[in-house]
């Protein structure tokens, strides 16, 4: 998916008045290094994931592999750890939403997509439990570039 | 100055904060928002013993969301 198309998907979600958080990071991750991006929500509200967009751009290597995990930190109800692992070419975009998940170039096995979608929809983050997007560098070289993460979510009030 | 080390909750659900020598310098009440007191170079110690160094803490006011970026090393 070209970046322009990716951005139009984000814009479309915005028009639906979903909250969009840009948790992007320019990174340099050493071999075996792990980058964690954690999102903590509002107190007394549960944040429900609607869409998660991940885009990477930079010299992430053409050989070897890297893993991306999405999980609720410390609870471990997230996606199967290997859902995007061991793919030399993750491509440059993955998208998850209610109806479709795709990695338009090479990437994860389509057979995993149902699990991915249902797992995503189970995730709620709040003020004490984080949505964690984790990138693990399995390459034998340092990964350098931009790791762009957009999270679209809705809030549910929590009655105390 | 040595980085703060923030460990996960004690038996009462309080979060311990230690200095770089490991001495406890305070606790955070259960229910407090975890990122409120995080700063870059702080070290979060997970229940598993895994340590994560905080690189950036960003508060997105419009959405009332904290983004915490941290880095660690995979133990193989």
Contacts of B42 (CB under 8 A, 6+ apart): B3, B4, B5, B6, B53, B54
A68 vs B51: which has the higher pLDDT:
B51
Chain B residue at shortest CA distance from A154: B63
Closest by alpha carbon to A58, among A12, A26, A103, A106? A26
pLDDT band at A47 (very low <50, low <70, confident <90, very high): confident
pLDDT above 80 for A45: yes
The reported pLDDT for the residue numbered A113 is: 38
Alpha-carbon gap, residue A19 to B61, rounded angstroms: 12
The reported pLDDT for the residue numbered A95 is: 36
pLDDT band at A140 (very low <50, low <70, confident <90, very high): confident
Of A40, A128, A137, the CB nearest to B65: A40
Q: 3-state secondary structure string, chain A?
A: CCHHHHHHHHHHHHHCCCEEEECCEEEEECCCEEEEEEEECCCCEEEEEEEEEEEEEEECCCCCCEEEEEEECCCCCCCCCCCCCCCCCCCCEEEECCCCEECCCCCCCHHHHHHHHHHHHHCEECCCCCEEEEEEECCCCCEEEEEEEEEEEEEEECCC
pLDDT above 80 for B72: yes
User: Which region among A47-51, A58-62, B47-51 has the lowest average model confidence (pLDDT)?
Assistant: A58-62
Residue A134, both tokens:
């984790």
Q: Nearest-CA distance from B24 to chain A in Å?
A: 21
Q: Nearest-CA distance from B21 to chain A in Å?
A: 24
Closest by alpha carbon to A135, among A22, A28, A3? A28
HSE at residue A156, side-chain half, CA atoms within 13 A, is: 12
pLDDT digit string, tens, across residues B18-57: 877 878 777 776 556 778 778 899 888 776 778 889 999 9
DSSP state of B35: G
3-state helix, strand, coil in chain B (%, to 5): 5, 45, 45
The reported pLDDT for the residue numbered A55 is: 65
pLDDT band at B59 (very low <50, low <70, confident <90, very high): very high
pTM greater than 0.80 (yes/no) = no
Chain A residue at shortest CA distance from B58: A23
Q: Which residue has tokens 């979903």?
A: A18
Q: Is the CB of residue A19 less than 8 Å away from at least one CB of chain B?
A: yes
Q: Is the CB of residue B60 less than 8 Å away from at least one CB of chain A?
A: yes
- Tell me if residue B70 falls in helix, strand or coil: strand
Task: Tally C-beta pairs within 8 A across A and B.
Answer: 73
ipTM over 0.90: no
pLDDT band at A147 (very low <50, low <70, confident <90, very high): confident
Which residues of chain A lie closer than 8 angstroms to B76, CB-CB? Answer: 32
DSSP state of B36: G
Of B52, B63, B76, the CB nearest to A36: B52
Q: Nearest-CA distance from B65 to chain A in Å?
A: 5
CA A64 from centroid of its chain's CA atoms = 20
Cβ of A36 and B46 within 8 Å?
Answer: no
Give the percent of chain A with pLDDT over 90: 0
**Could you say which residues from 78 to 107 on chain A have a Cβ atom under 8 Å away from some Cβ of chain B?**
none
Q: Which of A18-22, A23-27, A88-92, A144-148 has the highest mean pLDDT?
A: A23-27
């Amino acid at each position: 998916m070209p970046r322009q198309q990716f951005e139009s998907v984000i814009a479309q979600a915005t028009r639906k008045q979903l909250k969009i958080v840009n948790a992007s990071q320019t990174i340099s991750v050493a071999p075996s290094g792990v980058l964690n991006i954690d999102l903590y929500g509002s107190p007394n509200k549960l944040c429900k994931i609607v869409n998660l967009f991940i885009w990477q751009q930079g010299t992430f290597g053409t050989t070897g592999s890297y893993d991306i995990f999405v999980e609720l930190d410390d609870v471990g109800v997230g996606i199967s750890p290997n859902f995007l692992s061991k793919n030399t070419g993750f491509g440059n975009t993955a998208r998850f939403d209610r109806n479709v998940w795709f990695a338009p170039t090479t990437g994860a096995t389509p057979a995993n997509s149902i699990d991915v979608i249902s797992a995503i929809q189970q995730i709620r983050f709040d003020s004490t439990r984080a949505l964690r997007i984790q990138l693990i560098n399995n390459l034998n070289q340092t990964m350098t570039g931009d790791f762009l993460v957009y999270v679209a979510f809705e809030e549910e009030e929590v009655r105390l | 100055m040595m980085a703060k080390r923030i460990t996960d909750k004690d038996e009462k659900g309080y979060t311990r904060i230690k200095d770089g020598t490991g001495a406890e310098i305070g606790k955070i009440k259960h229910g407090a928002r975890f990122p409120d007191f995080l700063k870059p170079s702080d070290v979060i110690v997970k229940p598993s013993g895994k340590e994560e160094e905080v690189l950036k803490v960003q508060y997105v006011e419009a959405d009332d969301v904290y983004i915490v970026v941290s880095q660690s090393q995979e133990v193989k």
